[in-house]
């Protein structure tokens, strides 16, 4: 078997962008020590072979990214991104830092940044759109949490993105302006995810199916692209909520008319009327980016990579539907392994069972991004 290679760069480099703007500096001994500790503590998560009576002699393997220090794969990402900011003079005495998230990115971001001395901002969906537990993960880590204003920014993740841009613009005249590493759109995020692929392949001879969440494309592309380069015959399946069909409409643009005719597209009007209620609830945190997908380079790069997109009925919480003897995917997982995974992970497991019912003697790989406990 040939060597596993990192995915091709399809996004701009944070290092090159920041170096061009702000020059370079040497890291202090304290910065190097702390960054090294964080890099050492993340990664090498378990590849769990699920003992769930998989049909047709298939095997489902889950990469347990919830085993990272703050409970998600973002613990792999931020030591690399923040090191770049420190090396390019975006230091705590000169800048505050901000990130957006639907719950998993900002706790990992905040934890490291606070130890390095930064003031940290987290722009999150409104409490009506995101669980209090997910919001509290960022605030309890020390982030200043702010939410999109529906009247100025709109709803959902597009509204969150607009609010962050507004905050950055507002800060230009402050004593310390705010800067964002923009984890969704830089090459170094995917490069930090690549070791997940290498770790997976140390435990397997081959992979037949990889099921990844569409989201901002980083795990879908960062894991799926190198796997498919190594094993061209394998299938990459993306999952995405039906109500946030960001990648789906990019891959199948002719379906947009269908969505519009049936009134199923989410509300994106940035200036809604005060007396007009809007139904835009993020029911699958981290999985959908309708209204933003065309700006995410790793989503664009995944359009030709994926062999299919499984849309999840998020309005009816499909991941909670029984798949065997009145038991959900999470029920079966808890009986066998004593854990309950988050929404997108449970949906991934549900889809893995669907595939296993149709194929024979295959290796199916999914990612367990987070656990239910403390987040939902």
In tens, the pLDDT along 286-304 reads 787 777 888 899 999 999 9
For residues 164 and 262, membership in a common domain is answered with no
Answer yes or no: is 375 within a domain.
Answer: no
Question: Which whole-number Å values give the CA distances from 290 to 7, 171, 182, 256, 326, in the listed order?
Answer: 24, 28, 18, 11, 32
Q: Strand pairing partners for 363?
A: 59
Residue 218 has pLDDT above 80, yes or no: yes
For residues 121 and 197, membership in a common domain is answered with no
For residues 235 and 150, membership in a common domain is answered with no
For residues 295 and 309, membership in a common domain is answered with yes
- The residue ranges of DSSP E strands in the chain, in sequence order, are 47-49, 59-64, 96-100, 120-124, 144-147, 178-179, 209-213, 235-241, 308-312, 363-368
**pLDDT tens digits, one per residue of 13-43:** 999 999 999 999 999 999 999 999 999 999 9
The per-residue pLDDT for 145 is 96
Domain boundary among 185, 207, 231: 185
214 close to 239: Cβ distance less than 8 angstroms: yes
280 close to 156: Cβ distance less than 8 angstroms: yes
Domain boundary among 185, 210, 240: 185
DSSP code for 222 = H
For residues 80 and 201, membership in a common domain is answered with no
Answer yes or no: is 91 within a domain.
Answer: yes
Say what the pTM is. 0.94
For residues 213 and 354, membership in a common domain is answered with yes
For residues 177 and 298, membership in a common domain is answered with no
Mean pLDDT of 94-107: 91
State how many domains the chain has: 2
**Sequence-separated (6 or more) residues with CB below 8 Å from residue 30:** none
Answer yes or no: is 3 within a domain.
Answer: no
For residues 250 and 319, membership in a common domain is answered with yes
Q: Which position has the higher pLDDT, 282 or 61? A: 61
Residue 128 has pLDDT above 70, yes or no: yes
Answer yes or no: is 138 within a domain.
Answer: yes
For residues 130 and 243, membership in a common domain is answered with no
Average pLDDT, the chain: 92
**pLDDT tens digits, one per residue of 316-370:** 999 999 999 899 999 999 999 999 999 999 999 999 999 999 999 999 999 999 9
For residues 21 and 99, membership in a common domain is answered with yes
Give the angle subtended at the CA of 163 by the CAs of 125 and 311, to the nearest 5°: 45
118 close to 81: Cβ distance less than 8 angstroms: no
Band of residue 154 on the pLDDT scale cut at 50, 70, 90: confident
**pLDDT tens digits, one per residue of 254-283:** 988 888 787 777 655 545 555 554 556 677
Alpha helix stretches (DSSP H) within the chain: 14-22, 29-41, 74-87, 105-115, 132-141, 156-170, 187-202, 218-230, 246-251, 256-262, 297-302, 329-337, 343-356
312 close to 241: Cβ distance less than 8 angstroms: yes
266 close to 155: Cβ distance less than 8 angstroms: yes
Sheet holding 363-368, edge to edge: 47-49, 59-64, 363-368, 209-213, 235-241, 308-312
The per-residue pLDDT for 2 is 60
Three-class DSSP labels, 147-185: ECCCCCCCCHHHHHHHHHHHHHHHHHHCCCCEECCCHHH
Domain boundary among 135, 159, 185: 185
Answer yes or no: is 120 within a domain.
Answer: yes
Answer yes or no: is 5 within a domain.
Answer: no
Q: For residues 77 and 85, what is the distance between their CA atoms, to the nearest angstrom?
A: 13
Answer yes or no: is 376 within a domain.
Answer: no
118: domain range?
A: 15-41+73-185
Q: Which position has the higher pLDDT, 275 or 160? A: 160
For residues 131 and 178, membership in a common domain is answered with yes
Q: For residues 214 and 220, what is the distance between their CA atoms, to the nearest angstrom?
A: 6
Q: Which residue has the tokens 């085993």?
A: 67
The CATH number of the domain holding residue 23 is 3.40.50.1100
Tokens of 139: 């605030």
136 close to 107: Cβ distance less than 8 angstroms: no
Q: Which of 97-101, 155-159, 196-200, 248-252 is the least confident region?
A: 155-159
For residues 176 and 310, membership in a common domain is answered with no
Band of residue 1 on the pLDDT scale cut at 50, 70, 90: very low
Answer yes or no: is 374 within a domain.
Answer: no
């Amino acid at each position: 078997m040939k060597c596993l290679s990192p995915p091709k760069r399809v996004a701009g480099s944070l290092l090159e962008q920041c170096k061009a703007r702000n020059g370079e500096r040497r890291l202090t001994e304290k910065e190097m020590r702390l960054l090294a500790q964080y890099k050492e503590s993340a990664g090498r998560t378990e590849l769990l072979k699920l003992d769930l009576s998989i049909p047709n002699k298939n095997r489902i393997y889950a990469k347990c990214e919830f085993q990272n220090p703050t409970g998600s794969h973002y613990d792999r990402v931020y030591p690399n991104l923040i090191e770049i900011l420190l090396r390019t003079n975006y230091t705590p005495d000169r800048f505050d830092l901000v990130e957006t998230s639907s719950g998993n990115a900002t706790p990992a971001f905040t934890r490291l940044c606070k130890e390095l001395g930064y003031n940290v901002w987290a722009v999150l969906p409104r409490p009506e759109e995101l669980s209090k537990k997910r919001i509290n993960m960022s605030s309890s880590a020390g982030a200043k949490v702010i939410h999109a204003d529906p009247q100025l920014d709109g709803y959902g993740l597009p509204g969150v993105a607009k609010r962050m841009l507004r905050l950055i613009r507002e800060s230009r005249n402050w004593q310390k302006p705010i800067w964002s590493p923009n984890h969704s759109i830089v090459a170094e995020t995917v490069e930090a995810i690549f070791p997940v692929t290498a770790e997976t392949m140390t435990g397997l001879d081959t992979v037949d199916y990889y099921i990844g969440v569409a989201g901002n494309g980083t795990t879908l592309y960062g894991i799926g692209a190198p796997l498919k380069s190594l094993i061209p015959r394998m299938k990459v399946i993306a999952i995405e909520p039906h109500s946030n069909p960001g990648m789906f409409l990019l891959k199948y643009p002719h379906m947009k008319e269908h969505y519009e005719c049936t009134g199923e597209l989410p509300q994106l009007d940035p200036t809604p009327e005060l007396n007009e209620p809007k139904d835009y609830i993020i029911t699958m945190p981290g999985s959908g980016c309708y209204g933003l997908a065309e700006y995410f380079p790793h989503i664009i790069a995944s359009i030709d990579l994926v062999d299919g997109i499984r849309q999840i009925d998020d309005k009816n919480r499909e991941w909670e539907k029984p798949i065997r003897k009145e038991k959900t995917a999470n029920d079966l997982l808890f009986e066998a392994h004593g854990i309950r995974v988050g929404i997108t992970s449970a949906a991934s497991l549900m889809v893995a069972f669907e595939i296993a019912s149709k194929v024979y003697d295959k290796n199916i790989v999914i990612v367990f991004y987070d656990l239910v406990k403390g987040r939902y």
